[in-house]
Amino acid sequence: MNAAASVCDERPVQVLAPFVTWKKSDIVKRGVELGVPFEPEFVIDDYPEIVSAFGGVWVPPYFFQRSPDEEMDRVYRIVCDFVSTGTSEDRQYRAKGSTVPLF
């Protein structure tokens, strides 16, 4: 990745990714251990574990072209539901602390 990155005047850029080998749940756990005072109110992610931990929308990974692809419209509707009511009836919405369905 370092070889692919450079600034506008073509100086080399070193990409630091100290947590690239960590699971997301380990990053969250380490943040708690360090007393990091940040916790998102709503997340949009393709990892259902993250969405279940914080609450928000799980978006399936995009592997193939779908016809029609309306995922972002769906996300927008879920966000609007959450803003107005604090929840959503959409099956891709996960309340904070919910369990991850296996299928």
Q: Is 100 among the domain residues?
A: no
- In this structure, is residue 38 part of a structural domain? yes
Number of domains present in the structure of the chain: 1
Residue with tokens 């072209």: 65
The span from the CA of 61 to the CA of 77, in Å, is: 19
pLDDT for 92 equals: 92
Residue 61 lies in a domain: yes
In a domain, 31, yes or no: yes
Tell whether the model's pLDDT for residue 6 goes beyond 50.
no
Tokens (6 digits) for 54: 């914080």
pLDDT tens, position by position, 72-91: 899 999 999 999 999 999 99
Domain membership of residue 32 as a residue range: 2-94
Question: Is 102 among the domain residues?
Answer: no
pLDDT given for residue 102 in this prediction: 67
Would you say residue 103 lies in a domain? no
DSSP for 51-78, written as a single string: HHHH-EEE-----S--SS--HHHHHHHH
